[in-house]
């Protein structure tokens, strides 16, 4: 048990944002599960925390609890819900990180969740069908995960994944399929807010990818805000001497270079599959060897 906890602590401290997000979501799920179990077993009148951490479309309540716009995206109370979300986050998050930085992932997770919450609030205060539902609370990381899926899918639409280890499928088809399922479920009585939030997150992911292809990073301001807050919380940060370093490569240039390197390795692997390793040139073998060491 100690080894498992040590491994979790190690991965968390390595600033692996993907693992950190998964650990945070799982930790919140377990804490809520334990509180609920203890209350039920001992017949305790435990406090229901969900209204204080779930997103709400009730504007009068939202004003009093604005933090719920952020907390809802790490809250799950159903095992299958968190299992599906974390598996999707892990699979597509890894693909996302092959094109973008960890900061992009963390910031888009936040922006996707916020986009889902905003769309949910707007629709539940304007569309007659939803007005009758009396502001159901909304929880889950689905909007954030959808943003990451759509960002990866529309940034590199020809990328493929092994589906169920049986056949290869382009990621963009998976993204479109998920979007269609949510769209045709908008009139569903079960989880209506969730389907709306998914669409909001998907739109944010699409915008991120399209803007990034134009050389614009819409998550940059979020990164700067987070860095500023983190620096303020560090002990003695106000006393530290400010040193400016000249960046030789922007985040956009770095990610573009990584993208081209990935495409080159994919081309070499396809060549090996078609003609064998011996068909590679000396330069191609060197590139493959260098890539294996990273």
Question: What pLDDT was estimated at residue 252?
Answer: 62
183: tokens are: 């769209």
Burial class (CB in 10 A: 0-12, 13-18, 19+), 156: buried
Question: What pLDDT was estimated at residue 243?
Answer: 45
pLDDT tens-digit series, residues 59-73? 999 999 999 999 999
**What number of residues does the chain have?**
294
For the chain, which ranges sit under pLDDT 70?
A: 1-15, 46, 164-165, 233-256, 289, 291-294
Question: What pLDDT was estimated at residue 236?
Answer: 59
Contact 74, 53 (CB under 8 A): no
Burial class (CB in 10 A: 0-12, 13-18, 19+), 196: buried
Q: What mean pLDDT, rounded, does the chain reach?
A: 85
pTM: 0.78
Domains of the chain: 7-226 (1.20.1540.10), 250-294 (no CATH)
Among left, alpha and beta (phi > 0; psi -120 to 50; other), residue 134 is left
Question: What pLDDT was estimated at residue 64?
Answer: 96
* Whole-angstrom distance, CA of residue 34 vs CA of residue 48: 13
């Amino acid at each position: 048990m100690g080894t498992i906890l040590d491994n979790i602590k190690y991965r968390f401290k390595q600033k692996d944002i993907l693992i950190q997000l998964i650990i945070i979501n799982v930790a919140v799920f377990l804490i809520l599960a334990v509180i609920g179990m203890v209350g039920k077993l001992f017949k305790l009148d435990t406090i229901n925390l969900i209204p204080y951490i779930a997103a709400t479309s009730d504007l009068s309540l939202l004003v009093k609890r604005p933090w719920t716009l952020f907390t809802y995206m790490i809250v799950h109370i159903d095992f299958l819900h968190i299992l599906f979300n974390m598996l999707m986050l892990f699979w597509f998050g890894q693909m996302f990180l092959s094109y973008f930085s960890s900061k992009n992932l963390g910031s888009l997770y936040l922006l996707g969740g916020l986009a889902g919450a905003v769309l949910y609030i707007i629709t539940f205060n304007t569309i007659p069908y939803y007005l009758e539902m009396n502001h159901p609370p909304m929880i889950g990381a689905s909007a954030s995960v959808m943003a990451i899926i759509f960002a990866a899918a529309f940034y590199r639409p020809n990328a493929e994944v092994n589906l169920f280890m049986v056949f290869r499928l382009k990621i963009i088809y998976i993204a479109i399929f998920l979007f269609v399922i949510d769209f045709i479920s908008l009139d569903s009585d079960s989880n209506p807010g969730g389907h709306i939030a998914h669409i909001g997150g998907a739109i944010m992911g699409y915008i991120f990818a399209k803007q990034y292809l134009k050389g614009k990073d819409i998550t940059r301001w979020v990164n700067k805000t987070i860095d500023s807050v983190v620096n303020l919380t560090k002990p003695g940060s106000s006393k530290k001497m400010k040193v400016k370093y000249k960046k030789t490569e922007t985040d956009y240039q770095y990610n573009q270079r990584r993208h081209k390197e990935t495409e080159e390795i994919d081309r070499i692997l396809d060549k090996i599959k078609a003609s064998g390793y011996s068909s590679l040139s000396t330069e191609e073998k060197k590139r493959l060897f260098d890539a294996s060491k990273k």
